[in-house]
């Protein structure tokens, strides 16, 4: 029987990761013979704007074949109880098991909504009861939302893959990962464009390692599992590795920005895109954040590019009133000091307004710039005293520093779901079977040793 096991919200700011629990659960199911893998586990990043999320807001689904769905459910609950932060931190885990051969339309719609809006546990419970799914939640049971959404996310339009390697338990809590940055840069150069967002060239920063106390050692993102294994073989690791697993994912697909935002109702935490016309010259506020105002259908919206986006802010600051743009991002909650704003994740310049400069004419006698003496009065040269009643203001079109193009923040400022430039050429719909090496159990030695 085809079964899918959904997991979410097992971690807290103090540690753990749902992907690690998924890895341990797969290991347990395979070793005991309770199930066999039928496809890559799915790592689904949900709405990145949810304020109560931890880190990347990722939920996991494990597709298996089993004769006993109840045993799969029990093993999943056991893994959550054994490893999760439930009762120790802010984790409120959820486990959902589906035996449906086809995922119903309303569950797919629920999953799609969870990518860009706020959804409730009540919605999830109603659907799970409707389709007789087994489920269990801990604490507030908020994890049931993500667990069901991960089952409903089918990745039919686009998908990527991520190889996640895990740390030995004695290194949990130690934030710095022992990864050789030179080898990561080499890996990025050799495997591009089959991998993405591994190394930030501008800041020479490694992008495959998290910075928290969780069990994840590294995560390499790419287009296919073979590319990930090749990339992994290049990276030099200086600490013990406790297994790895390749996930199919919606990371790097930009799917959360697919809905069109309503400028008349900028609901907090919603994500999407909007076509608008720049109506006010961009400005910089304290902290280095760049802003501009734009109009759509008579409604004014504020757009923001924060200081960590680096050179992306320069593009924003080079916009002028009259430019037509498409913006993608999330809605910042209104506060006492600031109104609602769209936090930019991309900017597409569709049409450029003409940048016309107006200056006083040059003196026909000495070539100096003349001065205006007021409406209806001739221009006067302060250098030689010549007055010219026929002279007029000079209008000149200035070259623009921004072009009709798509602009993104640098990799270090991109979210898990942000679609990198290299992926805008085509979506990945190619079916891919499980390959050798997609999963390694715990307690294996490090792949390579970094130079000390």
What CATH number is attached to the domain comprising 273? 2.40.50.1010
pLDDT band, very low/low/confident/very high, at 446 (cuts 50, 70, 90): very low
Q: Where are the beta strands (DSSP E) in 110-198?
A: 134-137, 160-167, 195-196
Of 89-93, 172-176, 194-198, 387-391, the range with the lowest mean pLDDT is: 89-93
Has residue 59 got a pLDDT over 50?
A: yes
Q: What is the pLDDT of residue 323?
A: 98
Q: How many residues belong to the chain?
A: 452
Element (H, E) at 324: strand 324-332
Q: Assess whether 267 and 125 both reside in one domain.
A: no
Query: What are the backbone dihedrals phi and psi of residue 376, each rounded to the nearest 5 degrees, phi first?
Result: 80, 0
Residue 7 lies in a domain: yes
Alpha helices (H) in 251-340, listed in sequence order: 312-317
Note whether 16 and 145 are same-domain residues. Answer: yes
Q: What is the CATH number of the domain that holds 241?
A: 3.30.70.2200
**Band of residue 53 on the pLDDT scale cut at 50, 70, 90:** confident
C-alpha to C-alpha distance for 124 and 110, rounded to whole angstroms: 8
Domain with 276 in it: 255-352+400-416
Q: Which pLDDT score, from 0 to 100, does residue 89 have?
A: 64
Specify whether 131 is located in the same domain as 190.
Answer: yes
pLDDT over threshold 70, residue 445: no
| pLDDT higher at 127 or 442 | 127
Q: What digits encode the pLDDT tens for the residues 312-342?
A: 999 999 999 999 999 999 999 888 777 889 9
- The answer on 228 and 240 residing in a single domain is yes
Domain count, the chain: 2
Q: Quick: pLDDT tens for 188-233.
A: 999 999 999 999 998 999 999 998 899 999 999 999 999 999 999 9
Rounded CA separation 82/76 (Å): 10
Helix (H) or strand (E) holding 300: strand 299-305
Residue 452, pLDDT above cutoff 70: no
Rounded CA gap, 384 and 371, in Å? 12
Would you say residue 359 lies in a domain? no
Kindly list the distances between the CA atom of residue 262 and the CA atoms of 113, 338, 436, in Å, as whole numbers in the listed order: 15, 19, 47
192 and 276 fall within a common domain: no
Instruction: Say yes or no: 319 and 232 in one domain.
Output: no
Same structural domain, 120 and 215 = yes
Domain-located, residue 330:
yes
**Interacting residues of 176 by C-beta distance below 8 A, sequence separation 6+:** none
> Which stretch, 136-140, 304-308, 426-430, has highest mean pLDDT?
136-140
Residue 167: strand pairing partners = 241
Residue 135 sits in the same domain as residue 185:
yes
Kindly report which listed range (184-188, 201-205, 231-235, 270-274) carries the lowest average pLDDT score: 201-205
The three-state secondary structure class of 399 is coil
CB 47 within 8 A of CB 118: yes
**Given this model, what pLDDT does residue 234 score?**
98
Mark whether 168 and 236 lie in a shared domain: yes
The structure tokens 């990198």 sit at 420
Distance between CA atoms of residues 48 and 252, nearest Å: 13
Cα 125 to Cα 144: distance, rounded to the nearest angstrom: 8
283 in a structural domain: yes
User: Is 363 part of a structural domain of the chain?
Assistant: no
**pLDDT tier for residue 451 given thresholds of 50, 70 and 90:** very low
* Contact between 420 and 411 (Cβ < 8 Å): yes
Does residue 315 lie in a domain region?
yes
CB 244 within 8 A of CB 437: no
Specify whether 32 is located in the same domain as 164. yes
Please count the other Cβ atoms lying within 10 Å of the Cβ belonging to residue 55: 17
Q: How confident is residue 368, by pLDDT bands cut at 50, 70 and 90?
A: very high
Domain-located, residue 63 = yes
- Is the bond preceding 193 in cis, omega lying within 30 degrees of 0? yes
**Beta carbons of 59 and 95 less than 8 angstroms apart:** no
Question: 3-state class of 21 per DSSP?
Answer: helix
Neighbours of 62 (CB within 10 A): 28
Max distance between CA atoms of the chain, in angstroms, equals: 100
Nearest in space to 448 (alpha carbons), one of 245, 243, 191, 233: 233
Classify residue 13: in a domain, yes or no: yes
Nearest-angstrom CA–CA distance, 427 and 198: 20
Q: Do residues 248 and 99 share a domain? A: yes
| pLDDT of the residue at 45 | 97
The rounded percent of the chain whose pLDDT value lies above 70 is: 97
The verdict on 119 and 156 lying in the same domain is yes
């Amino acid at each position: 029987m085809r079964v899918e096991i959904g997991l979410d919200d097992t971690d807290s700011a103090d540690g753990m990761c749902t992907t690690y629990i998924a890895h341990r659960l797969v290991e347990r199911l395979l070793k005991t013979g309770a199930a066999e893998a039928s496809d890559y586990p799915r790592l689904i990043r949900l709405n990145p704007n949810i304020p109560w999320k931890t880190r990347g807001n990722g939920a996991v689904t494990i597709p298996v074949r089993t004769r006993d769905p109840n045993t799969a459910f029990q093993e999943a609950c056991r893994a959550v109880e054994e490893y999760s932060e439930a009762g120790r931190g802010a984790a409120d885990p959820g486990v959902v098991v589906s035996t449906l051969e086809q995922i119903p339309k309303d569950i797919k719609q629920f999953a799609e909504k969870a990518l860009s809006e706020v959804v409730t546990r009540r919605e999830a419970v109603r659907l799970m009861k409707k389709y007789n799914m087994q489920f269990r939640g801990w604490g507030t049971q908020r994890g049931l939302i993500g667990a069901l959404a991960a089952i409903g996310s089918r990745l039919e339009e686009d998908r990527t893959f991520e190889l996640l390697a895990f740390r030995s338990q004695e290194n949990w809590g130690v934030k710095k990962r022992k990864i050789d940055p030179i080898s990561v840069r080499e890996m990025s150069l050799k495997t591009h464009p089959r991998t993405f967002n591994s190394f930030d060239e501008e800041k020479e920063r490694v992008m495959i390692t998290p910075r928290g106390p969780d069990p994840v050692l590294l995560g390499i993102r790419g287009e296919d599992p073979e590319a990930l294994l090749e990339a992994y073989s290049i990276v030099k690791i200086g600490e013990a590795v406790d297994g790895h697993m390749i996930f199919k994912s919606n990371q790097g697909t930009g799917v959360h920005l697919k809905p069109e935002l309503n400028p008349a109702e900028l609901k907090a935490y919603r994500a999407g895109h909007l076509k608008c016309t720049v109506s006010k010259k961009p400005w910089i506020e304290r902290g280095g954040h760049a802003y501009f105002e734009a109009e759509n259908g008579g409604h004014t919206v504020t757009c923001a590019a924060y200081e960590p986006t680096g050179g992306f802010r320069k593009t924003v600051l080079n916009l002028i009133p009259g430019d037509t743009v498409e913006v993608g991002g999330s809605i910042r909650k209104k506060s006492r000091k600031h109104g609602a704003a769209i936090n930019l994740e991309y900017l597409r310049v569709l049409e450029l307004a003409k940048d016309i400069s107006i200056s006083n004419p040059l003196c026909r006698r000495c070539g100096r710039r003349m001065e205006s003496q007021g409406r209806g009065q001739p221009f006067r040269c302060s250098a030689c005293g010549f007055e010219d009643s026929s002279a007029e203001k000079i209008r000149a079109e200035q070259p623009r520093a921004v072009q009709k193009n798509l602009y993104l923040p640098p990799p270090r400022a991109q979210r898990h779901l942000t679609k990198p430039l290299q992926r805008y050429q085509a979506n990945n719909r190619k079916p891919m079977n499980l390959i050798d090496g997609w999963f390694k159990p715990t307690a294996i030695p490090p792949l390579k040793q970094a130079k000390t």
